[in-house]
Chains A and B, each alone.
Chain A
Amino acid sequence: MLFGRRGSEDLVVRSARVVDPALGIDELLDVRVDGGVISQIGLNVDANGHRVVEGRGLVLAPAFVDPHVHLRTPGREDEETLASGTAAAAAGGYCAILAMPNTDPVVDSAAVLGSLIETAAAEAEVPVGFLAAITRGQRGEELTEMAELADAGAAGFTDDGRPVVAPGLMRRALQYHGVTRRRIAVHCEEPTLSRGGQVHEGAVSAALGFTGYPSVAESVMVGRDLALARYEDQAVHLLHLSARESVELLRAAQADGVRATAEATPHHLVLTDEAVRSLDANVKMNPPLRSADDRRALVEAVRDGTIPAIATDHAPHARHEKEVPFEEAPFGVTGLETAFSALYTHLVEPGLLPLPILLERMSAGPARVYGLEPPRIEVGARANLVLIHLQATWRVGEDGFRSRSANSWLLGETLKGKVRLTVAAGRVAYAA
């Protein structure tokens, strides 16, 4: 389900703090890679003529998996291409990403999917999986040919950017999950409640005059989709959760045995709607930034595993489209190149989230949601590694971006923690 360049690198990472939360490893070790596969983990590993990367003072972890990226291809190659988006991913420490189908044309046929897979195999710096649409043209009317799309390599299905409004149609999509076994991922937004809303409904939207986009616009859809998943006994994945009420519904449903997963974005985990007072279009996203209480609930859910995945929702936009009044600007911010550093700086450093949990939620967590093989530091596993300098500080944007777009919510901010090396599918995809 993943397509991109692969490699057969030979290298040794010497004396790094090796952290693989899924395998329970956290100690100073050497890791040797032969032909793109981890061949030896231990002390004083023989370099055997391989390239040696000094890991002293650095953390070596399973590389990250981003389950939610907009690569804008086909249609808006000025904003991002497969090559630029995957280069950005590599710089952020990712060894795999999943691309959303809301392109132009929408990925709703095996033909469009096939051409993306072909391009990715040749150009992608890290392997990419492609989600296909749940409904044709993402219009919310008729299902796509999901079985054919799954056979053609779709990694899952979503109408991301739009909700599946009709409950009957959502039910049919979930029934089909029993056939394809590829995850159905839903953008939970009840459009008559969110209508015209761009900012979380609360004190900030009231003071600034924005039409409110209330939390309940998300949570009523979360409630509906959990009820449908329970009724059909199928799995469902909730995209970019933002509200406490949604988290509570999810936690209760999971406790009841519903096979539901969810993801949270770095911006929802770090910022609150107070940031909107700047009227900066780079803090405009859907779902909107919510209250401090919602943010606390999301962080807690990531910590306890209710939300098993962190997703950037990397959404590149052309500069001229964001340099407009807030109300006119499109939703979305970039995130691939800053996700780890932002979360390390704002969650791990202040003591809100332990580093191993962050690493797990950025790697094995999202991989498992979509049934991908989790990256792991184990002999015999393909090398998917990220080497991180936790103490390094850097200023976002100082060296430009590998992404074609620069609409980062962190522009100009100094962050702690910098990716030094990314090995994806046995190939060095990024080295600083």
Chain B
Amino acid sequence: MTVQLVRDELRPPAQPPPRRHLISIADLTRDDVARLLATARSFERSLERELKKLPTLRGRTIVNLFFESSTRTSSSFELAAKRLSADVMTVKSAGSSVDKGESLKDTALTLAAYDPDVIVIRHPQIGAPSLVARVTSAHVVNAGDGKHQHPTQALLDLYTIEEHVGPIDGLHVAIVGDVLHSRVARSNIQALTLMGAHVTLVGPPALLPRGIEAMGCSVSTDIGAIADADVVYVLRMQRERMEAGANYLPSLREYTARWGVTPQRLRPGQKVMHPGPMNRGVEIDPLVADSVDALIETQVRAGLFVRMAVLYDLLTRGPVAVAAQVAEEVA
């Protein structure tokens, strides 16, 4: 006898075309990802021109709503919007009504009163972008919600790997470090496995969440497991998310000694990535961070193209002859 254990309306919605939001990599199909990366490539070429601004999103309004500190994500979303000629407004929680105790719902409703086309949100709590999507009519892009998801980071990582390592299908990527607290890890596991890569998670036992292998990856506590990876993806130790007394690790020194990514643990040609900001000398040896095999600055650059592609894709309603349109605008 089959029994329905979960009510249908509580299941993640079956992809309704056209796509309204980018909240989780789980919202995307393999075709969606391929299309976004192709669009990003077109935008990269367009930015080789002297005049870098495209008229594509002229007259559109994009609100960046950042409740957590961020340098690269907020700046790259802002620049991506400007490169596409959208009007962009960035609101940070410090100095806003949030300091006066305003709820997320009310902040979202206040900003929604300006009829933005897109709200880009970063928030320390899981589910904040979903809430904004429920209470406003804007397209919502998740720029990081707690430990849940950071989908544009995963897309820019895929972009970087495709450009600098090769096709993702069949690659082996090792993700090393604090998986437990990492939204980047979760989005990347989904994105990489979606595109056919094999993912191995490596780290101390308390930082590898129980049940994560159900996402389709391998799990190891032995740093030796990175040896045959094509790409070693180093995660930041998120000390700010570790509550006192939780004893995830005896000490950072012990972490570095056992799981730090050092030149001795890598072979030449193995590419190294990191979502930043880095703790040099903790999860990554400075020699590794500065080596020719490190793609870290490339990742930051890719963030711009990929975020342009995401905004473009949401506002032009998907795949209709995207490549042709962009090529036209570039020409």
**Which residues of A line the B interface, CB within 8 A?**
195-196, 201-212, 214, 271-272, 274-275, 277-281, 283, 292, 295, 320, 323-328, 346, 350-352, 412-413
Contacts and interface: CB of A to CB of B under 8 A. Distances in A.
A272 B104 contact: no
B177 to A, nearest CB: 15
A71 to B, nearest CB: 26
Given A209-B146, A274-B6, A295-B5, A202 B127 contact: no
A274 B10 contact: yes
Contacts of B210: 201-202, 206, 212, 214
B171 to A, nearest CB: 22
Given A196-B243, A279-B130, A324-B105, A209 B186 contact: yes
B interface, over-half SS: loop
Given A202-B210, A207-B214, A324-B131, A272 B126 contact: no
B148 A206 contact: no
Given A274-B5, A324-B105, A209 B211 contact: no
Nearest to A204: B211
B57 interface: no
Contacts of B126: 208-210, 279, 325-327
30 contacts: A195-B246, A196-B243, A201-B210, A203-B212, A205-B211, A206-B210, A206-B211, A206-B215, A207-B186, A207-B212, A208-B186, A209-B126, A209-B186, A212-B210, A212-B211, A271-B6, A272-B5, A272-B6, A275-B6, A278-B10, A279-B130, A283-B10, A324-B105, A324-B131, A325-B104, A325-B128, A325-B145, A326-B125, A327-B146, A412-B9
B23 to A, nearest CB: 9
A346 B10 CA distance: 15
B183 interface: yes
Interface residues of B, number: 37
B11 A207 contact: no
Interface string B191-218: 0000000000000000001111011000
A320 B103 contact: yes
Contacts of A272: 5-6
Nearest to B2: A350
Contact of A328 (B4, B7, B125): B125
- The 6 A-B pairs at the shortest CB distance, nearest first, are namely A209-B147, A203-B214, A326-B127, A325-B125, A279-B127, A206-B212
Interface of B: 1, 3-7, 9-12, 103-105, 123, 125-128, 130-131, 135, 145-149, 180, 183, 186, 209-212, 214-215, 243, 246
Contact of B209 (A212, A280, A326, A352): A212
Given A201-B211, A325-B123, 6 more contacts: A206-B211, A206-B212, A208-B148, A209-B126, A325-B127, A327-B125
A352 B125 contact: no
A201 B180 CA distance: 12
Contacts of B149: 209
Contacts of B125: 325-328
Contacts of B148: 208-209
A208 B105 CA distance: 21
Contact of B243 (A195, A214, A351): A195
Given A206-B211, A323-B105, A278 B12 contact: yes
Nearest to B134: A323
Given A207-B212, A210-B147, A324-B105, A275 B183 contact: no
A212 B126 CA distance: 13
A200 B211 CA distance: 10
B114 to A, nearest CB: 21
Contacts of A206: 209-212, 214-215
